[in-house]
Amino acid sequence: MQKTLENIFSTSSETFKAYRLLTPSILLLIIVFAFPILFLITYSFWTQDYVTIDTTLTLENYKTVINKSSYHILIKRSLTISSLTTIVTVLLAYPMAYFVAFVVKERKLLWLIILTIPFWTSYLLRVFAWKLILGYNGVINGSLSNLGIIESPLSFLLYNPFAVFVTLAHAWSAFAILPIYVSLEKIDRSLLEAAADLGDNAFKRFCRITFPLSFPGVLAASLIIFIPTTGDYITPKLVGGSEGIMVANLIQIMFGKANNWPLGSSIAVITMIIVTLSVILFVLISRWLVSKIK
């Protein structure tokens, strides 16, 4: 015991050396991450009183959020849009990642670069590009009416949850490819050959080997998309119209126009909890599913 403690505190011990390297990052995280989140949580128990903040601790904001169905609808809407985006994006990205990993034989890096180039321009402008496409005199309406298919422009293309979904799916698809590709690339090809030798057809090989082994990548891709899209602000703001407004817009309104930071904080905290719970639930369910498949 004495020995171990000595080991830990001696300047030559691995622990000391490791923590010496880690200290700057841990300090940064405490100041720029842990403190802000703690402050956010504290704020959520305070209340706004016109231009001042009442610092008596209370559950008032949480009661407001829990009792007001408007907030529930907005949170549900955000989760629906982001889940749908996640599922569709991952489904679309998987064959592409598979293609690069298994069909492309050389210059794989080049393929990956080609896949990411469209994402090297501003996110805002990528979102805005969909306004050009879906707009009243945009590409789709312009083309259709030029071809004589429609007489007056279709107005249902823009300013709705569907526009948000399409835009998000486009904006995030490259981010889904990379983790899936990495996990596919790691698969030991001899496993597949062995399975083929044992008489498994391509479909069986995919179900029994490729998919389960690439699953960590699918999981990572899903989380990489689900978390930020739930909290996306720009896309609903630019292409969402009224029905596409999501929870991040609500939080921003509370911190801006509605001037109610404590209520905004509690909505943020609730969103944070819901996102975390969804992620845990999602991971558990998918692990269970994979074990079933295996």
Partner 1 sequence: MKIIRDIFISILFLTGFSVKAEEAHLYTWVDQDDVPFIQYYIDKYGAEPKTSVFEDEDEAFAKLRAGYSADVYGPCSYEIPRWRDAGLIQPIDVSKLEHWEKIPDSLRNMPGVYDDKGQVWFIPHLFGNTSVIVNTKLAPEYAGDNNSWDILWDPKYKGRIGVLAGAVDTIPLVAAHIGVNAYNMTDDEWEQVKVKLRELVVQARLITNVTGELESAMAQGEVVAVEAWNDSYNNLIWDEEFTDPVEYMQPKNQKIFSWVCGFALSSVAGKEAPIEKAYALIDSGLSVGAAQFLIEDWGYAPANADGFGVASEEALELIIVDTSDVDAWLANTIFQEVMPNLDKIVEEWELIRAGVD
Partner 2 sequence: MKKFSLYSTGDRLLIIYAVMFLSFLYIPVLFLPLFSFSKSQYMMFPISDWTLERYVTMWHKTKLRDALFASIKVGIFASIISTILGILVARAMTRYIFPLKKPVLGFIMLPIAFPEIIMGVGLLIFAIFAGMQLSLITVTAGHVLICLPFSVLILISRFEGFDKSLEEASLDLGENAWQTFRRITFPIVASGILASVLLTFTISFDEFLIAFFLSGEDPTLPIYIYGQLRHVKNIPYMLALGSIILLVSFVTISFAEWIRRRGMKNKKLSGLFE
* Near partner 1 in 246-275, by CB under 8 A: 249-250, 253-260, 263
Provide the 8-state DSSP code for 219.
H
Helix axis angle, 211-230 to 161-186, nearest 10°: 150
Tokens at 92, concatenated: 């679309």
Q: Does 282 bind partner 2 (CB under 8 A)?
A: no
E strands present in 11-140: 47-49, 52-54
- What residues from 184 to 203 belong to the interface with partner 2 (CB under 8 A)? 202
Q: Tell me which H or E stretch contains 68.
A: none
Interacting residues with partner 2 between 52 and 91 (CB under 8 A): none
Which C-beta is closer to partner 1: that of 176 or that of 251? Answer: 251
29 binds partner 2, rule: CB under 8 A? yes
Choose the one of partner 1, partner 2, none that binds residue 98, judging by a C-beta under 5 to 8 angstroms depending on kind.
Answer: partner 2
Count of residues in contact with partner 1, rule CB under 8 A: 29
Tokens of 246: 């999501």
Q: What is the DSSP string of 18-49?
A: HHHHHHHHHHHHIIIIIHHHHHHHHHHTSEEE
Give the residue, chosen from 87, 213, 253, 279, that forms a contact with partner 2 under the rule CB under 8 A.
Answer: 279
Contact 183, 216 (CB under 8 A): yes
Q: How far is the CB of 239 from partner 2 (least distance, A)?
A: 12
Judged by CB under 8 A, which of 44, 45, 47, 48 binds partner 1? 48
What own/partner pairs with CB < 8 Å and gap ≥ 24 does 106-109 have? 108/185
Residue in 54, 57, 56, 63 with CA at minimum distance from that of residue 270:
63
For the chain, how long is the longest CA-to-CA vector?
A: 87
Binding mask 235-264 for partner 2 (x = CB under 8 A): ---x---------x--xx--x-----x--x
- Site stretch for partner 2 (CB under 8 A), options 37-45, 61-69, 157-165, 184-192: 37-45
The footprint of partner 2 on residues 88-127 (CB under 8 A) is: 92, 95-96, 98-99, 103, 109-110, 113-115, 117-118, 120-126
* 173-204-291 Cα angle (round to 5): 70
67 counts as binding partner 1 under rule CB under 8 A = no
Residue 32 in contact with partner 1, rule: CB under 8 A: no
Segment 132 to 191, residues that bind partner 1, using CB under 8 A? 136-137, 153, 155, 159
Tokens 């841990």 map to which residue? 26
Q: Which of 65, 174, 221, 245 binds partner 2 (CB under 8 A)?
A: 174
Backbone angles phi, psi at 221, to 5 degrees: -60, -45
Say how many residues touch partner 2, by CB under 8 A.
Answer: 80
Q: How far is the CB of 212 from partner 2 (least distance, A)?
A: 19
Q: Which is nearer to partner 1, 112 or 144 (CB)?
A: 144
